Amino acid sequence: MNTIILNYIYLVSIILFIVGLKRLGSPDTARKGNLIAASGMGLAILITIVYPMENASNNYTWIILSVIVGAAIGMTVAKKVKMTAMPEMVSLFNGLGGASTMLISIVEFYNYPSGADPLNGQMLTTVFALFIGSISFTGSFIAYGKLQGFLRDSLVLPAPQVVNSIMLLLNIGVGAYLLMQPELDFNLVVILLALSLIYGVTFVTPIGGGDMPVVISLLNSFTGIGAALAGLIYDNEVMIFGGILVGASGTILTVLMCQAMNRSLINVIIGGFSSSGGGTSGSGREEVVKEANHNDTSIMLKYSQKVIIVPGYGLAVAQAQHTCHELEKRLESEGVDVKYAIHPVAGRMPGHMNVLLAEADVPYPKLLELEDANNEFPTTDVVLVVGANDVVNPAAKEDSSSPIYGMPILDVELAKNVVVLKRSMNPGYAGIQNPLFFGDKTKMLFGDAKSSIQKLIEEVGNA
């Protein structure tokens, strides 16, 4: 009877996962979708505690204590984290999820019956779970360090594709040798664990700054796969289906990110990311900067028919999403059509700009995807680039030596005028100069994005 109740509740939890994931597809329903999926997870945890597995030790003290401590830490971090640090938090979550799978695998190896043949489906699953969980664990923390900036240039890996290929072969070899032993050798488990942890480091180390959204998405899919494998180990349907959903959605998102950056999934898997390039534009353009002022820019905006705002990581750093929405409303009150152009990999993680603008209550229909935005630029009077850099860099089309060459970009130069809000002429996260800043149609409005937009709002009202 308990098993029947357990399975029915698990089915309800899985349905809640699916419904929640579906609603996460739109900013308008994402908040409710997140609550629905969280309710499904809470229900699954509760029913598992009430009706535990057979032969479980059922140490409720440790379980309840872990839930309380974890929930307290999670709530504290979630409330205090800044929107600019959201990608770092996602990386940490991925890493902790991978660590959970890794620890589950180690415990299963440790408790494996002495003298039993390890060559079976259960052990194969455990080996794979250890491998995936370890990669997700150390890889996510390397990604965290790169997002924070303190590992950005300090780790240099020579011939990364060769190193990663060797590390992958070593992991496969040790895993296969472990399974072929007449009985489980825990020393081989330790060696496999060490190799997998190292591979997680070497896997993420070669990543160039512009590729960061891809690796975050990929590590997210690894965490989902790890959860599914842990579910197979424990024969837990919710963990299996939940992991499959996360792994599948993360993989699909990874493929979309690769397409947005013109990179193949195979190159991602073997660590073939671009590295940061040099500081020259390589476009042959005359590097003359035309500086704008708030008064001229506000007049140009006020008397435009169509304005498109291109948000980037600088918008997040300046916490200017709400101010940007105020400018949008002010311009619309003057009869100006205002939209936003969103590049798939703008920011530090997939959907970063969508989250920022949704937080500021920007209507979702105003957000244009890359292809739609590029179709509208030729009829746009002014494009306001707020903190974006690499995603509007013409070097992706003009300079074959550029690390981002071939990446689809927002063709803001097709508009009649381009105004770039930026603190300085420093290159973006990919570490390369942007020829757009020296374009004939481009003017630079230097300063903090939030302060600059606030001044533009005032000037538009006074113009």
Intra-chain end-to-end CA distance of the chain, in Å: 75
Angle in degrees, 0-180, between the axes of helices 60-80 and 27-50, rounded to the nearest 10: 160
Q: Tell me how many degrees the CA angle 255-256-257 measures, rounded to the nearest 5.
A: 90
Decide: residue 134, CB within 10 A, 0-12 exposed, 13-18 middle, 19+ buried.
buried
Distances (CA, A) of 206 to 139, 202, 269, 275: 11, 7, 12, 7
Sort strands 382-386 and 306-311 into parallel, antiparallel or unpaired.
parallel
91, 63 Cβ separation under 8 angstroms? no
Decide: residue 249, CB within 10 A, 0-12 exposed, 13-18 middle, 19+ buried.
middle
Taking alpha carbons only, the member of 225, 249, 256, 361 closest to residue 20 is 249
Residue 354 one-letter amino acid: N
Residue found by looking up tokens 């690796």 in the block? 215
φ, ψ of residue 444 in degrees (nearest 5): -100, 125
Report CA 234 to chain centroid distance, whole Å: 29
3-state SS class at 333: helix
133, 193 Cβ separation under 8 angstroms? no
Provide the annotated active-site residues: 390
Instruction: Provide the residue count of the chain.
Output: 463
Within 13 Å of residue 111, how many CA atoms lie on the same side as its CB? 10
Residue 369: DSSP 8-state: P
